[in-house]
Amino acid sequence: MKPLKHLPAWKDLEQHYKSMRDFDMRTAFREDTRRFEQLSLRCGNLLLDYSKNRVTTETMRHLMQLARESGLEDMRAAMCKGERINFTEKRAVLHVALRAPVRPPLMVEGVDVEREVAKVLQRMQHFVEAVHNGSWLGYTGKPIRDVVNIGIGGSDLGPAMVCAALDHYAVENLRVHFVSNLDPAHLATTLKSLDPETTLFIVASKTFTTLETLANANSAKAWLLAALRAPAAVARHFVALSTNVQAVEAFGIDPDNMFIFWDWVGGRYSLWSAIGLSIALQIGWGNFQALLAGAHAMDVHFKEAPLEANMPVILGMLGIWYANFWGTDTYGIFPYDQRLRLLVPFLQQLDMESNGKNVNRANKLVNYNTGPIVWGAPGTNGQHAFFELVHQGTRLIPTDFLAAAVNPTPLADQHEWLLANCLAQTEALLKGKSRAVIEAELITQGMTREAAKALAPHKVFPGNRPSNTLLYQKLDPHTLGMLIALYEHKVFVQGVIWQINSFDQWGVELGKQLAPPIRAALSSVRAIGEHDGSTLGLIADIRRRRGLST
Ligand code: F6P
């Protein structure tokens, strides 16, 4: 594997960047009336407008050349064939196999994974329908009214985000809740309004060893048993989603109440697997299938469209352009859609757990920046909080704006304003507002020339700041599936260019190893052990507050 910076296309991009440093998008739009047509793209009902970026068609040519020289097409094929591209964990990466509607056999190590997927989906469907039609009852014979998904990371963020996004598709008489945090307040506040007789717990954990999930599941079990006073009640009120049958049994959940998935489904890519059970319970089986179908439509586009007209590839390569040539550190995501309020936390895990890496596929430290810091919030809330920095701060921040083109609620006027604000922000980022215009405005408003001169610099918008806009018809299951898969593949593309393994997550391990001895030190002086000076000081302070010796 040739080091990234030795690739001819990388060198071409370095040269090209020099010629682009003073590029002004406003001039580009003035000089080329076809810029929007050239730098925008449709896939299904999605429109990606990337014309408000510091790029030309030549930039895009260089970026696509870099994608080719990086072996993106081969890596994409390797992923879809089930090769073990997650080489540090020796695992295939097959979330795309979870959402294929027609299932020709896909043999991975002698097993037809598509057949396995179909079997689990069928069991999930029966279960969801049984809960909905009331044939699955609680221990005392009452129908289920509340579902609590207990999980964390990928076993929480994906389903929680989708359930929030599609709550307008929710079935009647069933509420779905999510508990993730180790902080007991999360479980306690959720359980407060629930009735044990009508509550179903889904314990969602790929490994079934995760501290937070097991702690919450044990507390939930104790809560249930305290009310129903019969160990047999667990079988009617607990189901598990996991790859680890033994651990599920050891916890006390009957394997008949377990929906399995496989080590080739990464946690942050797992909402399409059994981990999606809470989604199917909330929106019904047909809508869950539409979500899968939307993701599949994006998979087909990703696999088949030429790189130059491939939405995930374009989004991914624009990210490379900014992170590696313009030196940007962060990436802002602003859905003008309150239902997508959990999209940013979901994308933070997807992007930062996947591409927050500093070692490449040749096991060497990289000498360039990899995954960006992903942040954001729904519009218009963000406008009244941190947009100051996006418009006037000293950093260049690439951004994605997302919005539904069609009013999804009866409150048509509010949606019109929402959409107008979304477009206005990207226009403001592009156009900016000059000092001369501001001075003239202030003088017209009656300010003296001197006062206007002093105030004007504070009111300048530099403009020429980048944004992508993703427009969709309305937020339905199919569209959401497409959007999520779009970002999954974008992250994949960037991981390939950076030559890293996007599918492991060793960076979460150290903190997990250090926590048990610290926990022991909090209550036993003998266990204090060796720590750095700061950690020792903090342990001592906590012990002192508890009246323990230090
Ligand atoms: O600690 C990180 C992590 O392993 C994530 O990758 C994963 O999504 C999350 O924890 C939950 O893991 P599990 O589903 O095994 O409980």
287 Cβ closer than 6 Å to some ligand 1 atom: no
Residue nearest to atom 3 of ligand 1 (CA): 153
Q: Looking at the DSSP assignment, which residues form a beta bridge with residue 46?
A: 43
Residue 213 in contact with ligand 1 by CB distance below 6 A: yes
pLDDT at 459: 98
Token pair 């962060």: residue: 330
Residues 6+ apart with CB under 8 A from 318: 50, 53, 55, 63, 398, 468
Neighbours of 2 (CB within 10 A): 13
Which one of the listed residues 114, 197, 353, 439 is annotated catalytic?
353
Q: For ligand 1, is residue 210 a contact (CB within 6 Å)?
A: yes
288 and 477 Cβ atoms separated by less than 8 Å: yes
Give nearest CA residue, ligand 1 atom 1: 508
384 tagged catalytic: yes
**Ligand 1 pocket test target in 152, 347, 357 with most atoms within 8 Å of CB:** 152
For residue 470, the one-letter residue type is L
pLDDT of res. 181: 98
How many Å lie between the centroid of ligand 1 and the Cα of residue 206? 7
**For tokens 């996006």, what's the residue?**
390
Q: Whose CA is nearest to atom 5 of ligand 1?
A: 153
Residue whose CB lies within 8 A of the most ligand 1 atoms, among 207, 272, 506, 512, for a mutation test: 207
Would you state the pLDDT for residue 527? 87
Q: Which atom of ligand 1 is nearest to the CA of 267?
A: 8
Ligand 1 in contact with 207 (CB < 6 A)?
A: yes
Contact 199, 237 (CB under 8 A): yes
CA of 355 from ligand 1 middle (Å) equals 16
**Residue 196 Cα to ligand 1 middle (Å):** 27
Q: What is d(CA 167, CA 148) in angstroms, rounded to the nearest whole number?
A: 15
Per-residue pLDDT of the chain (550 residues; tens, 9 = 90+): 999 999 999 999 999 999 999 999 999 999 999 999 999 999 999 999 999 999 999 999 999 999 999 999 999 999 999 999 999 999 999 999 999 987 678 888 788 998 999 999 999 999 999 999 999 999 999 999 999 999 999 999 999 999 999 999 999 999 999 999 999 999 999 999 999 999 999 999 999 999 999 999 999 999 999 999 999 999 999 999 999 999 999 999 999 999 999 999 999 999 999 999 999 999 999 999 999 999 999 999 999 999 999 999 999 999 999 999 999 999 999 999 999 999 999 999 999 999 999 999 999 999 999 999 999 999 999 999 999 999 999 999 999 999 999 976 777 789 999 999 999 999 999 999 999 999 999 999 999 999 999 999 999 999 999 999 999 999 999 999 999 999 999 999 999 999 999 999 999 999 999 999 999 999 998 889 999 999 999 999 999 999 998 8
The residue whose C-alpha atom lies closest to atom 8 belonging to ligand 1 is: 154
Q: How far apart are CA 420 and CA 442, in angstroms?
A: 26
Query: Rounded to whole angstroms, what are the CA distances from 504 to 74, 76, 90, 332, 535?
Result: 20, 17, 10, 24, 28
Task: Evaluate the omega torsion of the peptide bond into residue 409 and state whether it is cis, within 30 degrees of 0.
Answer: no
Q: Please tell me the distance between residue 114's alpha carbon and the centre of ligand 1 in angstroms.
A: 24
What's the 459 CA to ligand 1 centre distance in angstroms? 46
Q: Is 247 in the pocket of ligand 1 (CB under 6 A)?
A: no
Q: What is the pLDDT, as a whole number, of residue 349?
A: 98
The reported pLDDT for the residue numbered 219 is 98
Q: Of 24, 11, 15, 14, whose CA–CA distance to 56 is shortest?
A: 24
Tokens encoding 332: 């802002």
Q: State the pTM of this model.
A: 0.97
Q: How far is the CA of 204 from the centre of ligand 1 (A)?
A: 10
Q: Is 271 in the pocket of ligand 1 (CB under 6 A)?
A: no
- In whole angstroms, give the CA distance from residue 354 to residue 371: 8
Mutating to test ligand 1, I would choose from 86, 91, 155, 208 the residue with most ligand atoms within 8 A of its C-beta, which is 155
Q: What is the pLDDT of residue 101?
A: 85
Is the CB–ligand 1 distance for residue 504 below 6 Å? no
Q: Dihedrals φ, ψ of 524, to 5°? A: -130, 125
Nearest to 328 by CA among 493, 466, 496, 499: 466
Q: Which atom of ligand 1 is nearest to the CA of 512?
A: 1
Ligand 1 probe mutation, 212, 505, 506, 509, most atoms within 8 A of CB: 505
Q: Cα of 239 to ligand 1 centre, how many Å?
A: 18
Ligand 1 atom having least distance to the Cα of 268? 8
Distance CA(407)–CA(337), nearest Å, equals 11
- The two tokens of residue 161 are 């985000």
User: Based on C-alpha coordinates, what's the Rg of the chain?
Assistant: 26
Distance 98 CA to ligand 1 centre (A): 19
Establish whether residue 505 lines the binding site of ligand 1, counting it when its CB lies within 6 angstroms of any ligand atom.
Answer: yes
Q: Which helix (H) or strand (E) holds 177?
A: strand 175-179
Listed residue (2, 4, 58, 18) closest to 370, CA to CA: 4
